[in-house]
Structures are given as C-alpha cells and as structure tokens.
Structure 1
Amino acid sequence: MNPISILRDAWYFYSRHIGALLPLCLPWIVFESLVQQQINQASGSPQIGPWGLAAGLVFYPIYTASLILYMSDRGEGRQRGMGELWNAALRLWPAFALLSALTSLLIVIGLSLLILPGIYVMIKLAFAEFLLIGNGLRPIDAMRESFRRTNGHFFLLLLTALAILMPVWLADGWVTQVSQESPLYAVLLNSISGFFQLLLTVAAYRIFILCPDEELPPA
C-alpha cells in the first residue's frame, strides 16, 4: 500500500457514492456548522471555542457513524436505508460521543505541546472509531487497540491524512475572515469543508480493512 493508491481508492468510493453520502451526512454537518456559528457569534469570537467543540461532539458521531456503517454495509454486501443507518448511528451515539470527546481532549493536549504530539495522537487513534463500531469495543479499549493496530502503518496514515487535511488547514484562515463578514457564507464554507473531510474517514477505513490484524513491533 502507498498513499497514492489509498487516496485513489478513497476518492473512487467517495465520488461514486456521493449521491448517497450527501443526504446521509451533509444535513448533520450543516446543523453542526449552524450551531457552531451561533455559538461563535454569541461569544464574539471567530474561533471555535470549547462550546463550539462541544456542539461538534453532538453531531460528529452521528454523521461519522452513519458513514462508517454505510461503508461496512457495502463491504459486506448489505444495503440499509438512510433511516436505518441514522437509527443505528443514534444507538451508537453515547459510546461514540465519549470516544470523540476523549480523542479530542488528547489531540488538543498534544497540539498544545508543540503540535507534533497532537498529530501523533491523531494518527494513532485513526482506527478507534472503526473498532468501536465494527468490533463493538468500548471507547477506551478501541483507543488502546487503535494504538496497537496502527503500528507499522503510521507513516502511511500520516501522509494520507496530510494530503487530505492540508487544503483544509490552508483554507481555515480565509473561512475565519469570511465568518466575520458573512456568517451564512461561513456556514456554507464550513459545511463544504466538513463534507470534504469525510474523505479522510473513507481513506482511513480503506487502510484499516487492508491492514492485517497481527502483533507488530512499535512504530
């Protein structure tokens, strides 16, 4: 495996199924952007603060779990409707929200320590969501298992993630400036950005299903 083949496969799936992913995930992403924008306006800050992050934890588990369930169904030859996927995602919400909160906390702490530790934690926890949903692990167990399962695949995950996230990070400053001038336009841009970032979940899931489940030496 190499980042180019992973990105190619992920983009193929993403573009081929975009007609299903738009109604499945985009409404929740738009709700998330609207709530975060309202919180930012109320606080008088264009940056996403703690309450904005909390709002993200409400919606992120729903659309991300829906996407993972959708990909899992396609891999197993099953086909559930949008309502069934949402219901399944909502049942998973408590555990997924806890996992997202713990992951976000560790990444924020890592980013505060000269950025690199935060990126390291983000990559090492890349499989946690798939393990929680596909393997039924509890949040802490999914995080621990993700640290193990990513051994030997760290740089593949890192390069793939950077290829997808770099354009998003470069656009962040512009979106912040736009949010001060036109809040509705900022919601639109944040929604587009959030939907594009689903590609990272697709790419990470592709690596996850191609990685052998075996004990490997630490990365």
Structure 2
Amino acid sequence: MNPLSILRDTWFFFSRHLGILVPLCLPWIVIETLVQQQINVAAGPQNFAPWGMAAGLVFYPIYTASLILYMIDAGEGVERGVRELWSAALRLWPAFALLSAITSLLIVIGLYLMVLPGIFVMIKLAFAEFLLVQRGRSPIDAMRESFALTTGHFFLLLMTSLAILAPVWIAEGWITEAGKDAPVLSVVLHSLSGFFQLLLTVAAYRIFILLGREAA
C-alpha cells in the first residue's frame, strides 16, 4: 500500500460515482458556503472563525455521513437513493456533530501550538468518522480506536492527505482573492473546493478498508 495507489483508487471511485456524489453532497456544501458567507458579512472577517466553524458543524456531518454511508453501501453492493442516505445521515447527526466538534477543537488547538500538533491530531483521528458510522462507536470510543488503528500508518495517511489538501489550500487562497468583489463567484468556487475536499474522506476510507482486510 502506497500513497500513489491510494490516490489512483480514490480518483477512480470519485470520478466513477460523480453522478451520485454531486446530488448527494454538493447541495449541502453550497448551503454551508452560503451561510458562512453571510456570517462573514454580518460578523466581519475578524469574528468569522468561531461562527464559521459552528455553521460548518451543522452541515458537515450531513454530507460527510452521507458520503460514508454511500461508500459502505457501494462496498456491500447495496443501493439506496439520495433521500434515504440523507435520512440515515440525519439520524447519525447528533453523534457525528459531537465527534466533529471535538475533533475540530483539538485540531485547532494543535494548530495554534506550532501547527505540527494539529496535523498529528488530524491524521490520528482520520478513521474516527468511519468507526462511528460503520461500526456504531460512540464519539469518544471512535477517537480512541482511531488513534490505535492509525499507529504504524501515520506517514501513509499524512502523504495521502497532503497530496489532496495542498492543491486545495492553494486554490482556496486564489478563490478568496478572486471572490472578494464577486459574491456569487465566491460561493461557486468555494463550493467546488469543498466538494473536491471530499477526496480526502474517500482516500482515508480506502486506507481504512484496506487495513481492515489486512487485519482479517
């Protein structure tokens, strides 16, 4: 298992299932982006961070859980429609939102502490969402088990994550500048950026599944 093979498999899955991933996830990402844009206007850039994160915690669990449920279904040969997946994701929302809040807080604290601790926490918690959705773990148990399961695979996850996030971060910088005087364009570009960040979830899930097969 190496980052290149993971990235290849990730892109293959993402492009092959684009027809369902767009209606499944993109509407929620667009709504999230619109809400965050309005918060930025109302609160101002200096006060955006906490309120923007709060808005993200409302919508992120819905589209991410929907994506994870779809990947689980694809692996098991099960077919569910978009509304069924949304319904299942909404039932998971309380636990998923709590997990996302704790994870985000730990990552932010880590980023303030010389950046590297934040990256470490992000990688070590890479499997927590899958453990919560697929195995029904509680948020705390999912975090604890993710820390254990990622042991020995830190650099694989790190290199794969950076290969996906680095272009996205560069694009986000350009999008912020390009969208300053064009709110509609800003929403479109930020939504597309958020959609392609889902590649990270797909890649992490691919690693999670492969490691599970090796353990079996």
Tell me which interval the TM-score lies in, with the shorter structure as reference length.
Answer: over 0.9
Distance change >3 Å, CA 162–CA 72, structure 1 → 2? same
Q: 2:101 aligned with 1:101, yes or no?
A: yes
Residue 213 (structure 1) shift: 7.8
CA–CA distance in structure 2, aligned partners of residues 120 and 91 of structure 1: 30
Give the equivalent residue in structure 2 for 1:52: 52
Give the equivalent residue in structure 1 for 2:189: 189
Give yes or no for contact 1:46–1:180 (8 Å, CA) kept in 2: no
Deviations 1:131-176 (A, max 9, x none): 0000100000000000000011110000000000001111222222
In angstroms, what is the RMSD of aligned CA positions? 1.5
- Structure 2 letter corresponding to 1:191: S
CA–CA distance in structure 2, aligned partners of residues 15 and 46 of structure 1: 37
Give the equivalent residue in structure 2 for 1:202: 202
Residue 47 (structure 1) shift: 8.0
Give the equivalent residue in structure 2 for 1:16: 16
Give yes or no for contact 1:26–1:191 (8 Å, CA) kept in 2: yes
Give the equivalent residue in structure 1 for 2:65: 65
Residue 43 (structure 1) shift: 1.6
Distance change >3 Å, CA 195–CA 138, structure 1 → 2? same
CA–CA distance in structure 2, aligned partners of residues 209 and 97 of structure 1: 23
Give yes or no for contact 1:66–1:89 (8 Å, CA) kept in 2: yes
Residue 180 (structure 1) shift: 2.3
Alignment partner of 1:114: what SS?
A: coil
Give yes or no for contact 1:47–1:176 (8 Å, CA) kept in 2: no
Give yes or no for contact 2:172–2:193 (8 Å, CA) kept in 1: no
Deviations 1:182-203 (A, max 9, x none): 1211111110000000111000
Deviations 1:3-28 (A, max 9, x none): 00000000000000000000000000
The two structures have a TM-score, normalised by structure 2, of 0.96
- Structure 2 letter corresponding to 1:66: S
Give the equivalent residue in structure 1 for 2:30: 30
CA–CA distance in structure 1, aligned partners of residues 205 and 11 of structure 2: 12
Give the equivalent residue in structure 2 for 1:121: 121
Identity %: 73
Q: How many residues align?
A: 215
Residue 177 (structure 1) shift: 2.0
Alignment partner of 1:180: what SS?
A: coil
Give yes or no for contact 1:46–1:176 (8 Å, CA) kept in 2: no
Alignment partner of 1:49: what SS?
A: helix
Q: How does 1:113-152 map to 2 (within 5 A)?
A: 113-152=113-152
Deviations 1:110-134 (A, max 9, x none): 0001111100000000000000000
The unaligned stretches of length 5 or more in structure 1 are: none
Range with bigger deviation, 155-164 or 177-186: 177-186
Residue 46 (structure 1) shift: 7.7
Give yes or no for contact 2:99–2:140 (8 Å, CA) kept in 1: yes
Give yes or no for contact 2:172–2:190 (8 Å, CA) kept in 1: no
Distance change >3 Å, CA 101–CA 67, structure 1 → 2? same
